[in-house]
Structure 1
Amino acid sequence: MSEHVHVALEQGVLTVTLARPDKKNAITQAMYTVLAEATERAKTDPDVRVILFRAEGDSFCAGNDIGDFIAIGSQTDEPLDMSVFRFLKALAELDRPAVAAVRGRAVGIGLTLLLHCDMVVVADDALLSVPFVNLALAPEAASTALLPAVIGHQRAFELFALGEPITGRQALDWGLANRAVPAGQVDEEARRLAALLAARAPNSIRSTKRLMRDAEAIWALMLAEGEAFGAQMKSPEAMEAFMAFSQRRAPDFSRAG
């Protein structure tokens, strides 16, 4: 349990709630620690049959808390030591089914997390984006392989390179979601699907998920992405992007290259 991440187990469903609505559920490294612990528990606790990711407020997740990310990233020469990578490793190795309930904005990790979920419910009017290039960074969470595998290379490259959002209805049409419903029905539908999964034969479900995913390859790609992410994070491009973000202006990459 944490001030900004709530974890509760009921009838086999471990519900993990992002609870920082005033910041659109932007994730700090302290929050990643709790998310990692919950995801690790989902794999090891026999009472957990399904993990459900949801959020309070009008947005699922605004991505990383930029200020927190810059502060901690600047203090370490090993970005892979950051708590986010413990969470990513737990996602890569997770063999319990995962469900997500998405309303409002899903930015960066808010979208790439969905690639590790087996059932995703989005609001019709949700807005999903992966603006890593806008911040002069590199994608993460094995999304460089998982996103093209779901929606195709051209669509994935456009999402990465331009950073423009797609709607929940588009996410459904492109295969990123199982259901697109009115925002007020998202949690109810996600809980319904989680309950259905929790009632299925647990070992059969886990075997099915393990056979559908190559956890070792996914983690290896996460590590490679982490190296690229770490290099970019310390680059002049990223410093300009972060400064522009804090000053609420467009970054100027005209001298980069």
Structure 2
Amino acid sequence: MSTTLQTHDAGKIRTLTFNRPEKKNAFTQEMYEAATEALRTAEVDPAIHVVVLTGAGAAFTAGNDIGDFVRNPATGEHAPPLLFLKALVDQSKPVVAAVDGVAVGIGTTLLLHCDYVVASDRARFSMPFINLGLCPEGASSLLLPRQAGMALASELLLFGEPFDAATALRAGLINRVVPAAQLTEVVAERAQALAAKPVEALRVSKSLLREPLRAEVNAALRKEGIEFVKRLHSDEARETLMAFLNRKK
């Protein structure tokens, strides 16, 4: 069992908690693998009707742990981050996210595949791929322009700068902003409301919402994945990633 991902089932709800608060819940390969497995088992468990994603402490996730990422670079479509995203895309049950503190990189793009997202008023988002010599992932190059409009999507992806919860709301990344003290309560209420719905009607409704874009989303995941791996092994990305690690040290 992974200690960096906590899985808790209560009633019809499975809560996955990214659990590296000392690292702002930055993802390691182990965390990706544990999260993928938890999503896959939730998918086939008839007792689970809703999945909740959250982070321990005052952060959602700082994205990839760069040190771990450099030591274990993605090499293809079976890389743990891509398998995690695919498991999230394939999840037929509603996924609710509670975002507090930072949501960096994949911590922001994964929200595009959630069905209801609540953020605290102190949440801060960013997709800094370009600053690391990389490119968009998580089908964000497809979905973000559709949800945010091309102008805002270009601004967020090409500059890679942090943005606040109000901008995330305007971009269609989240559904609601609440005071940090109310985040847990609001997310629990919304998750319970979904869990109380007729389960098959809930599944079919999500499928009808998501299915028209599924082929395009899967194609974007594959295309972005190919380009991401190319970028990751480029001199430009190696230099920026090493510079980032040296600054951290």
Superposition TM-score tier, normalisation by shorter sequence: over 0.9
Aligned-residue Cα RMSD (Å) equals 1.3
Contact kept in structure 1, 2:28 and 2:64, CA below 8 Å: yes
Deviating 4+ runs (over 4 angstroms) = none
Quote the Cα distance in structure 1 between the aligned partners of 2:228 and 2:188: 34
Match of 1:16, SS?
Answer: strand
Q: What letter corresponds to residue 83 of structure 1 in structure 2?
A: P
Structure 1 unaligned runs (5+)? 250-257
Identity percentage of aligned residues: 44
Matches within 5 A, 1:60-75: 60-73=60-73
Contact kept in structure 1, 2:152 and 2:171, CA below 8 Å: no
The number of residue pairs the alignment matches comes to 246
Specify the alignment match of 1:37 in structure 2. 37
Matches within 5 A, 1:117-128: 117-128=114-125
Specify the alignment match of 1:115 in structure 2. 112
Match of 2:229, SS?
Answer: helix
Shift of 1:173: 3.3
- CA displacement, residues 3-35 of structure 1 (integer Å, 9 cap, x when unaligned): 110001111111000110000000001100011
Quote the Cα distance in structure 2 between the aligned partners of 1:12 and 1:123: 24
Quote the Cα distance in structure 2 between the aligned partners of 1:4 and 1:232: 28
Match of 2:138 among 117, 137, 141: 141
Specify the alignment match of 1:102 in structure 2. 99
Contact kept in structure 1, 2:144 and 2:171, CA below 8 Å: no
Structure 2 residue 156 is the aligned partner of structure 1 residue 164: no
Matches within 5 A, 1:190-205: 190-205=187-202
| Distance change (3 Å), C-alpha of 1:179 and 1:58 | same
Q: What letter corresponds to residue 210 of structure 1 in structure 2?
A: S
Structure 2 residue 207 is the aligned partner of structure 1 residue 221: no
Quote the Cα distance in structure 2 between the aligned partners of 1:247 and 1:19: 25
Shift of 1:165: 1.4
Quote the Cα distance in structure 1 between the aligned partners of 2:85 and 2:100: 22
| Distance change (3 Å), C-alpha of 1:55 and 1:240 | same
Contact kept in structure 2, 1:54 and 1:187, CA below 8 Å: no
Match of 1:228, SS?
Answer: helix
